[in-house]
Amino acid sequence: MTHALYLARRAALARLIGPHGVAVLPTAPEQQRNRDADFPFRADSYFYYLSGFTEPKAWLVIRGDGRTTLFCQPKDLEREIWDGFRLGPDAAPEALGVDAAFSVTELDTRLPALLDGCDAVWFPFATHAGLESRVDGWLGKLRSRIRYGTLPPETQRDLCGPLDEMRLIKDAHEQDTMRRAAGISAEAHVRAMRLCSQMLREGKEVREYHLEAELLHEFRRQGSQYPAYGSIVAAGANACVLHYRADAGRVRDGELVLIDAGCELDGYASDITRTFPANGRFSGPQRALYDLVLASQHAAVAATRAGARFTDPHDATVRVLAQGMLDLGLLNKDKVGTLDDVIEKRAYFAFYMHRTGHWLGMDVHDCGSYTEPSEIGQKTERRDALTGETLIDRPARILQSGMVLTIEPGIYVRPAEGVPEAFHHIGIRIEDDAIVTDTGCELISRGVPVDPDAIEALMRD
Ligand code: GLY
Ligand code: MN
Ligand code: MN
């Protein structure tokens, strides 16, 4: 029964909030796009993690003893004719393994009794507009009946804390789903690469949206519900715009294409970037920068294992990139000094201005603290060499088996004085998804090659 998975997660959460806690969690709100059209509904990640339930207008109440109550849309034939099937409260206990279920229209009348006698009410802070005042309303109702013996919770706590920690370590079911999501995305990248060189060979005009269409087709063809984020398909100089979105840009023979795209499958994201020559053959300068980014990714992958810090892959990347920038003349040794000076002064930032990774899970930038919880008090202050700002450093998270993160170094060369012209407008990023293991990491997105010769071979066929 799949609902055993969600039962176990709710039981684990109940242990974390303690026997006298109670957790209240709504799913995501529906979002209007314009007039009668809504954005496609996607369940709230925390809510889905604990229930597997994808209908809108639903709430979970989990008591510290593990007893779970679901509030969901009531059965309504007329609405179901227009909007589709509703599970309804009568069928929910059997289908979802919850202990009780009621219509969401009864939420405000039933919630005070569910909170009564608990010492702390847990709900996600600062994530759902209006939730705090809703909780206040239920507590107010309980307090108004205090002379009849009600016991309102005295503490409000942020439910994101325990749930973020749970979600940070992916269980076997999650890892399996993420492997499948990354596999689909990898095939979509292969498809876009192939189409690109093929269309150019046939003398056709290629636009970024032609490649985006290939990605979307493959995602959907293999059962993914939607892209995990807005796909980036950036031709030529557009690759130097970090948050560029697939648009109508012309993909020109001789230029590179950067695609950062991943599907979401059954609630889990994938996040892959590949950069390839539009015509299937790297030029000399393109290949020199590509080899550098790939070498920096190898260094980051080698630094990713249980027991390492979250920042280790980034630091490894930066060392390789910075040395390459000096060797290739992107940075002038006479001006910026040695490798250590480049790192110390963050001179590499002109061409590499983002971090090397982030947690990946239900959300593409997934939840979970980047600071090691066991060392939270050990902060140090430092003056940033580039901006002069005072920054606080806290010990970075120690990686554990089952954490999933991206490894995504890049290099982005905007024209500037002293920067060799051959590299102008080249933007390269290589991004893979890694499951941390005891001895290293498992790259789950390598269904699409990163090796430049393998990319060229794939695009030739
Ligand atoms: N696609 C978003 C990222 O790479 O972080
Ligand atoms: Mn990413
Ligand atoms: Mn990405």
CATH number assigned to the domain comprising residue 58: 3.40.350.10
Single out the catalytic residue among 35, 36, 147, 202.
36
Three-state SS at 304: coil
Burial of 291 (0-12, 13-18, 19+ CB in 10 A): middle
The answer on 271 and 410 residing in a single domain is: yes
| Probe target for ligand 1 pocket from 215, 229, 429, with the most ligand atoms within 8 Å of CB | 229
Provide mean pLDDT across the span 2-12: 92
Q: What percent of the chain has pLDDT over 90?
A: 96
Ligand 1 and 364: CB distance under 6 A: yes
**Residue whose C-alpha is closest to residue 185's, from 260, 259, 263:** 263
The answer on 403 and 304 residing in a single domain is: yes
Query: At which of 139, 166, 193 does a domain end?
Result: 166
Q: Are 422 and 375 in contact (CB under 8 A)?
A: no
Structural domain span for residue 129: 4-166
Closest ligand 1 atom, CA of 229? 1
The answer on 329 and 347 residing in a single domain is: yes
Buried b (16+ CB within 10 A) or exposed e, 190-224: bbbbbbbbebbeeeeebbbebbbbbbbebbeebeb
Does the active-site annotation cover 6?
A: no
Does the active-site annotation cover 148?
A: no
The answer on 193 and 70 residing in a single domain is: no
The answer on 88 and 44 residing in a single domain is: yes
The answer on 187 and 158 residing in a single domain is: no
Query: Total structural domains in the chain?
Result: 2
Q: What is the pLDDT of residue 2?
A: 63
Q: What is the pLDDT of residue 385?
A: 86
Q: What is the pLDDT of residue 228?
A: 98
Parallel, antiparallel or unpaired: strands 37-38 and 32-34? antiparallel
Distance 146 CA to ligand 3 centre (A): 53
Provide mean pLDDT across the span 207-231: 98
Whether the per-residue pLDDT at 125 is higher than 60: the answer is yes
Q: Are 259 and 189 in contact (CB under 8 A)?
A: yes
Sheet holding 226-227, edge to edge: 226-227, 263-265, 268-269
What CA–CA distance (Å, rounded) separates 212 from 380? 45
pLDDT classification of 386: cutoffs 50, 70, 90 = confident
Buried b (16+ CB within 10 A) or exposed e, 257-270: bbbbbbbbbbbbbb
Q: Are 259 and 174 in contact (CB under 8 A)?
A: no
Q: What is the pLDDT of residue 118?
A: 97
Q: What percent of the chain has pLDDT over 70?
A: 100
Q: What is the pLDDT of residue 119?
A: 96
Closest ligand 1 atom, CA of 271? 1
Please state whether 130 falls in left (phi above 0), alpha (psi between -120 and 50) or beta.
left
Q: Which residues contact 72 (CB under 8 A, 6 or more apart)?
A: 53, 55, 57, 58, 86, 87, 88, 89, 92, 101, 103, 104
Single out the catalytic residue among 44, 208, 214, 408.
408
Parallel, antiparallel or unpaired: strands 155-158 and 441-443? unpaired
Provide mean pLDDT across the span 30-52: 97
pLDDT classification of 217: cutoffs 50, 70, 90 = very high
What CA–CA distance (Å, rounded) separates 60 from 397? 30
Of residues 291 and 392, more confidence is placed in 291
Whether the per-residue pLDDT at 128 is higher than 70: the answer is yes
Parallel, antiparallel or unpaired: strands 226-227 and 263-265? antiparallel
What CA–CA distance (Å, rounded) separates 457 from 318? 29
The answer on 211 and 137 residing in a single domain is: no
Alpha carbons within 13 A on the beta-carbon side of 225: 14
For 399-412, the pLDDT digits (tens) are: 999 999 999 999 99
The answer on 347 and 226 residing in a single domain is: yes
pLDDT classification of 284: cutoffs 50, 70, 90 = very high
Q: What is the pLDDT of residue 427?
A: 98
For 20-30, the pLDDT digits (tens) are: 999 999 999 99
User: How far does Cα 425 stand from its chain's mean position?
Assistant: 28
Whether the per-residue pLDDT at 146 is higher than 90: the answer is yes
| β-bridge mates for residue 256, sequence order | 277
Does the active-site annotation cover 298?
A: no
CATH of the domain at 276: 3.90.230.10
Whether the per-residue pLDDT at 72 is higher than 60: the answer is yes
Single out the catalytic residue among 305, 412, 432, 433.
412
**Residue whose C-alpha is closest to residue 297's, from 428, 165, 435, 403:** 428
The answer on 182 and 58 residing in a single domain is: no
Which backbone phi and psi does 127 adopt, to 5 degrees? Answer: -125, -30
pLDDT classification of 377: cutoffs 50, 70, 90 = confident
Q: What is the pLDDT of residue 315?
A: 98
The answer on 94 and 199 residing in a single domain is: no
pLDDT classification of 461: cutoffs 50, 70, 90 = confident
Provide mean pLDDT across the span 68-75: 98
Count, in order, helices (H) and strands (E) of the chain: 14, 23
Q: Are 212 and 249 in contact (CB under 8 A)?
A: no
Whether the per-residue pLDDT at 363 is higher than 80: the answer is yes
The answer on 425 and 285 residing in a single domain is: yes
Provide mean pLDDT across the span 240-262: 96
Maximal C-alpha separation, the chain:
83
Q: What is the pLDDT of residue 29?
A: 97
Single out the catalytic residue among 15, 143, 365, 382.
365
What CA–CA distance (Å, rounded) separates 107 from 43? 18
Q: Are 441 and 265 in contact (CB under 8 A)?
A: no
Q: What is the pLDDT of residue 46?
A: 98
* Residue with CA at minimum distance from ligand 1 atom 3: 271
Does the active-site annotation cover 414?
A: no
